[in-house]
Amino acid sequence: MLFEPIIIKNLKSKNRIVMAPMCTYQAVNGFANNSHLIHYASRAIGQTGIIILEATAIEPRGRISVDDLGLWSDEFVDGLKSITDECKNHGSKIGIQLAHAGRKSRVLDEEIVAPSSLAFNSSFPTPHELSKDEIEEIILKFGEAAKRADKAGFDFVEIHAAHGYLINQFLSPITNKRTDEYGNDKKLFLERVLKEVRANFSPEKTIFVRVSAEEYNIAGNNPENLGELLSEISYLFDILHVSSGGIDENSDFKTFPGYQLSFAEYLKKELNKPVIAVGLLQDENIANQALKDNKADLIAIGRGLLNDPYWPLHAAKKLNADIEWPKAYLRAKIIDSGLK
């Protein structure tokens, strides 16, 4: 099933393989450059069906690091469009993850912000607690970034609501201690962001949301209560990307291949939405079985694709799936098959 095509809304992918968004720390002042172009185009040549660009900040203080991509200005559009054009040329669908780091930003010359004035840990400064007017400004910036993503030719956008970054900080009772409507209704900030993004992005294009389904802390979110929160706003997105962790440093959990699959399976059934499973799934047999067992609709590969840009080609051979190879590499396919 890993190599079966899938259609979700107007997004048609030739296979079920997703490149997970992973920061490359190669941007200069937020701008994409040739290193990004080579990085993503290589995975498109390797036949990754869907590529998600790394976390891209909607404002300078929203960067995780000073080396992150940005989309807070029209000046960034042309550099990103060169990436979308090249990846599409090789048959991949491509999107961008719109993000704000909130209290987990390490950009030293920017004031970091959060729903509540709680530092991530002792090495981070205490963030400024956002006022309602400041929250409104950030929501509008998500919409403006989505409009620029549209101009850059992205097939979809992914809203980063996972791993302890700003939207996750609003969703989690660990980090959101507000007493106003944004505290009483933990989903409100994400809901308003999604509405603003939808209003500024082509209506036929898909919207992904990435969440931390489990925060590994008894005081935090888990798949059951997060499912309740998302059920009320699931009409605003098309695909749910299910990850976990990142809200604080107090959680104690072990990772293993497929350790997040149960979260994806639960939310897929609870929300009746297509889901992307992620988390040490680079073993093609585990990835393929997750699809067969209906635990997910798509499989995101992170470190496996960092290690091998041609992971899909090699996985297809191991699974006896005869997929199309890039014309330039056909001789490698013949040799790999034991033919002369």
Residues 119, 142: Cα–Cα separation, whole Å:
24
Q: What is the pLDDT of residue 252?
A: 73
- Model confidence over 42-75: pLDDT tens digits? 999 999 999 999 999 999 999 999 999 999 999 9
Q: What is the pLDDT of residue 100?
A: 98
- Model confidence over 83-97: pLDDT tens digits? 999 999 999 999 999
Point out which residues pair with 7 in neighbouring strands. 12
- Model confidence over 7-56: pLDDT tens digits? 999 999 999 999 999 999 999 999 999 999 999 999 999 999 999 999 99
- Token pair belonging to 199: 């209003």
**All residues at 6 or more sequence positions from 327 whose CB lies less than 8 Å from its CB, including other chains:** none
Residue 337 has pLDDT above 80, yes or no: no
Choice among 77-81, 178-182, 204-208, 320-324 with the minimum mean pLDDT? 320-324
Q: Burial, 133: exposed, middle or buried (Cβ in 10 Å; 0-12, 13-18, 19+)? A: exposed
Nearest to residue 299, comparing CAs of 260, 246, 337, 250?
260
Residues 68, 126: Cα–Cα separation, whole Å:
22
- Stretch 153-159: mean pLDDT, rounded? 98
Residue 339 has pLDDT above 60, yes or no: no
Share of the chain above pLDDT 70, in %: 98
Residue 340 has pLDDT above 60, yes or no: no
- Model confidence over 170-179: pLDDT tens digits? 999 999 999 9
pTM: 0.96
Tell me how far CA of residue 137 lies from CA of 159, 164, 318, in angstroms. Answer: 17, 20, 50
Share of the chain above pLDDT 90, in %: 94
Alpha helices in the chain (DSSP H): 34-45, 77-89, 132-151, 166-171, 181-184, 188-200, 223-231, 261-271, 284-292, 303-307, 311-318, 330-336
Question: Which 3 state secondary structure label does DSSP give 206?
Answer: strand
Q: Which domains does the chain possess?
A: 6-336 (3.20.20.70)
Grade residue 231 by pLDDT with cuts at 50, 70 and 90. Answer: very high
Point out which residues pair with 298 in neighbouring strands. 276
